[in-house]
Structure 1
Amino acid sequence: MPFSKETLQELVCAYCGVAASAISLTPIPTGKFNTSYFVRADGDELVMRIAPPRDAVFVFYERDMMRQEPGLHALLLEKTSVPVAPIIAYDDSHTLLDRDFLLMKRLPGRPLTDAPYVDEAKVLRRVGRCLAEVHALAAEGRYGYLGEHAPMAPQPTWVDAFQMMWRKLVEDVAAVGYYDETESTALLGLLERHIDLFDRPVPSSLLHMDVWAQNILVDDASNLTGLVDWDRALWGDPEIEFAVLDYCGISKPAFWEGYGERRDTSPKARIRNVFYLLYEIQKYIVIRHGRNNDPAAAQQYKRQVMQIVAQLMHRT
């Protein structure tokens, strides 16, 4: 374990009031950002998630992003039927551990990636219905990453928010050495030349932004039992969520049947979708370089970005 058993037991004891001898912990191997454990505390089934150290390499919106999860879970539990876990403790005091951590109830089921024989169409229809509920939650006149981690100033319009998000992400990639000044300027200019496509009235919808098979929990009867990992959530145009769903293989016909609305497939929407896809892919340059120590993979993502950029410039 990256942390000693005694340290982890102390964290659980602080909030659950049980003896250390009544606590067992099992590492969750699938976590890609946080360090996570299944916890059994005197019969209660919990999940503990521990944030990365503060000196890790982050995409701009990742730093302290766990801070927004308690509020989001509470909102979803109050306003939707989306299966999310009650969070029973969140600690950013760094008195017990030099990282943020949280404890939440363990949801039943297993990741869709580990359930090859379920009825995928049934699951995706339910995921679609859930995201329709989520997208119906809207902030009033504020766009962007609005959570307690505050990675950006809230913006009055989506076009302003996305332009700021794009600039910050390009700067992050440049900061780890994968864009030079010419490339950064070109990517910023590319959005500027198409910015009118984003200047349109859209709701500031709550967006999950990380729905893929690993974050979808199901039972053996193909029921959706959990939609997890809300720490990347933002508020804005649902089209950017659709691009992530495309990338992650979720936006299949069954999903759209559950979602209940047809997406815009106009030429303008398709160009926006390319930018939203680029926003999704560029983060992996930073992640592969800074957290996975895999510069070859980071370069591969950069090549993918540049190929898409070249195709977009040819089209427009």
Structure 2
Amino acid sequence: MDRMLDDVRLLAHRYDVAPADVHEVPGGVANRGFVLGPRLFVRVARSGFEDDLRKETAVVPVARAAGVRTPAILEYDESRAQVDASYVVVERIHGVEPLTTPSEVALELARLHSAERVSLPGVADDGWGEPRATVADLATRGYLDTGTADWLTGWFDRLERRFDRSAPPVLLHGDVAPHNLLVDPADGSLQALIDWGDAAWGPRAIDFAKLRLTEVAHLLPAYLAATTLTADELAAGILYLHLSWALAKLPTAPWPSQRHWTAPPTSRVLNLLTFFTTNPPHPWPTLT
């Protein structure tokens, strides 16, 4: 017996949706998702992820006001009176997960990053991190030789001179990846950016750090056209994060059966290698 499914079916009745039209969508680390007929979708927080769902209810209205395509929230309840968990009812967007990141994502991110900073409950500040400490730790633990550690530290030094670490933070989605995008199955056009549980205020480069660099290079011109940034400074910041996160991932244990490309410990490092050996466009070759 699945009590959660039974609770959601009772919830569906309030929206005039028959129990037979309630179906669970597989997957979801932070939430269980349920289709309620053709118009509605319910996300129920798994234990320990209630704060992420609460955060979404604060972020989504701001994102939508900025023009970002994301489903409207119709109801949020954390009382456990109807469902034995926090849940949110949103409009259902008919779409599928893309195989690659559609180009329209660039404009969605430009709109999101233009949102005025306001107080949003649960939305913390994120930052650049301290990659030199990561390099030093890897050298101490024997993952890097001294010469390579010095070379990497110099690379981070050069990249930092090309962007402003103190630039005002922007509103971030925090997990821009194909599994959080919905596209039209017929023509591949972007329908929605979903799942705001990782939203934060921080450097705009973070929203490009979970995409492969080949995808980032493809998206960057459209994004830059909607901002006042230069390609050099944004690309330098993005590469700074990709390199930093790639190194931090190296000593972690393998995580089998995960679909995201960054799950294996060496994926990010190998993505950097692949990207820079396939003739990337300007300004990427100048950043090494």
Using the TM superposition, give the Cα deviation of residue 105 of structure 1 relative to its aligned residue in structure 2, in angstroms.
0.4
Aligned to 2:145: none
Indicate the percent of aligned positions where both proteins have the same amino acid.
21
Per the alignment, do residues 22 and 73 of structure 1 end up closer, same or farther by CA in structure 2, a change over 3 Å counting? same
Aligned to 1:93: 79
- Structure 2 Cα separation of the partners of residues 102 and 47 of structure 1: 8
Tell me if 1:111 matches 2:89. no
- Structure 2 Cα separation of the partners of residues 216 and 266 of structure 1: 23
Query: When the two structures are superposed, what TM-score results if normalisation uses the length of structure 2?
Result: 0.66
- Structure 2 Cα separation of the partners of residues 287 and 66 of structure 1: 28
The equivalent position to 1:139 in structure 2, one of 90, 94, 117, is 117
Per the alignment, do residues 269 and 148 of structure 1 end up closer, same or farther by CA in structure 2, a change over 3 Å counting? closer
Q: Is the 8 A contact 1:207 1:233 kept in 2?
A: yes
**CA-to-partner distance for each residue in 1:237-294, whole Å, 9 max, x for gaps?**
11222222236x63142x2232135543699647732465349x75xx69959xx8x9
Unaligned 5+ runs, structure 2: 142-149, 272-288
Aligned to 2:178: 213
Aligned to 1:64: 51
Aligned to 1:203: 168
Per the alignment, do residues 277 and 246 of structure 1 end up closer, same or farther by CA in structure 2, a change over 3 Å counting? farther
Q: CA RMSD in A?
A: 4.6
Q: Is the 8 A contact 1:205 1:238 kept in 2?
A: yes
- Structure 1 Cα separation of the partners of residues 178 and 234 of structure 2: 28
Tell me if 1:83 matches 2:69. yes
Q: Is the 8 A contact 2:242 2:268 kept in 1?
A: no
Q: Is the 8 A contact 1:125 1:259 kept in 2?
A: no
- Structure 2 Cα separation of the partners of residues 79 and 266 of structure 1: 21
Per the alignment, do residues 94 and 258 of structure 1 end up closer, same or farther by CA in structure 2, a change over 3 Å counting? same
Using the TM superposition, give the Cα deviation of residue 20 of structure 1 relative to its aligned residue in structure 2, in angstroms.
6.5
Using the TM superposition, give the Cα deviation of residue 207 of structure 1 relative to its aligned residue in structure 2, in angstroms.
1.3
Per the alignment, do residues 275 and 148 of structure 1 end up closer, same or farther by CA in structure 2, a change over 3 Å counting? farther
* Residues paired across the two proteins, number: 252
Aligned to 1:313: none
**CA-to-partner distance for each residue in 1:186-219, whole Å, 9 max, x for gaps?**
xxxx9x9979948733121111121112222111
**CA-to-partner distance for each residue in 1:93-151, whole Å, 9 max, x for gaps?**
223333211110001222113xxxxxx6xx732111111111122427xxxxx75236x
Unaligned 5+ runs, structure 1: 55-61, 114-119, 141-145, 171-178, 184-189, 295-299, 309-316
Tell me the SS of whatever aligns to 1:250.
helix
Per the alignment, do residues 124 and 304 of structure 1 end up closer, same or farther by CA in structure 2, a change over 3 Å counting? closer
**CA-to-partner distance for each residue in 1:39-70, whole Å, 9 max, x for gaps?**
11xxx52111111113xxxxxxx661111112
Per the alignment, do residues 11 and 202 of structure 1 end up closer, same or farther by CA in structure 2, a change over 3 Å counting? same
Tell me the SS of whatever aligns to 2:21.
strand
Aligned to 1:52: 46
1:225 partner letter: Q
Tell me if 1:232 matches 2:174. no
1:27 partner letter: E
Query: When the two structures are superposed, what TM-score results if normalisation uses the length of structure 1?
Result: 0.61
Q: Is the 8 A contact 1:128 1:258 kept in 2?
A: yes
Tell me the SS of whatever aligns to 2:165.
coil
Tell me if 1:35 matches 2:32. yes
Aligned to 2:102: 124
1:83 partner letter: R
